[in-house]
Amino acid sequence: MARRVKLTDFQRALSERLAQAANRKVASSNRLGVSTGQRHWLLRLDQAGEVLFAPDLHEVPLTKSWFRGVANVRGHLVSVTDWSEFCGGAPAALNYRSRMVLLSERLGMPAALLVGTVAGLRSIDALERAEPSAAPAPWTVAAYKDADGRIWEEVDLARLVSDASFLHVAAI
C-alpha cells in the first residue's frame, strides 16, 4: 500500500529540495580568487583545500627555484610551490599577506601553492569571458574579466598535478 503524504508536507519537501539544488548551483559557480604579482587566478573550491598563513618552509636542495620546499601542516609534509615564480613571475615575498593554498586531498598530492594574496570568493556568473593575459598553460581552462577590467584565469588543479612541468622539481 502506498504511503499517504499530506499535500503541504509534499510541497514543503519539494521546496526544500529546490532550494538545496539552487544552493549547489551557486556554490559550483564560486571560485577562490588568488593573486600573484599582477596576475589573478581562480581555483575551484572542490580542488582547493584550506588557506593558511605561510608556515616555516624547509628548503629542499637541488630543486627548481619555484619549489619553495616543504612545510609541516599538522604533522604532514606538504610540498610548496611558489605560484608566481612557477607561472613565470617574480618570486612571492613571504609577508603578512601571503598565503598557502592547500590542494584538495582528493587530488592525491600533498601540495600547496604559495600565493601573494587571497582575494576571496568570486562568482564566475558575475564575470565575463575573456582572453588569458598570457599564452594559456595546459592547466588553464578559462579566463574571465571582472568589472574593474582585471583578467582572472581559472586553473584546473587536477590537470596541474598531472602536468610534467609541475611534477619535475629537480634542478638537475
Instruction: Read off the amino acid at residue 46.
Output: D
- Domain range spanning residue 85? 31-167
**Structural domains counted in the chain:** 1
Percent of the chain beyond pLDDT 90?
A: 71
In a domain, 11, yes or no: no
In a domain, 48, yes or no: yes
pLDDT in tens, 3-19: 666 667 766 665 566 55
In a domain, 121, yes or no: yes
Domain with residue 141: its CATH number is: 2.40.50.180
pLDDT in tens, 131-172: 876 677 899 999 999 999 999 999 999 999 999 999 999 987
How far is the C-alpha of 21 from the C-alpha of 161, rounded, in Å? 30
In a domain, 47, yes or no: yes
In a domain, 17, yes or no: no
In a domain, 16, yes or no: no
122 Cβ contact list (under 8 Å, min separation 6): 30, 31, 32, 33, 42, 146, 152
What are the beta bridge partners of residue 63?
Answer: 170
Tell me what the mean pLDDT of segment 108-118 comes to.
95
In a domain, 18, yes or no: no
In a domain, 107, yes or no: yes
> Which cell is 96 given?
603578512
What predicted TM-score, i.e. pTM, was given to this entire model? 0.81
Tell me what the mean pLDDT of segment 63-84 comes to.
95
The DSSP bridge pattern shows strands 111-115 and 76-82 to be: parallel
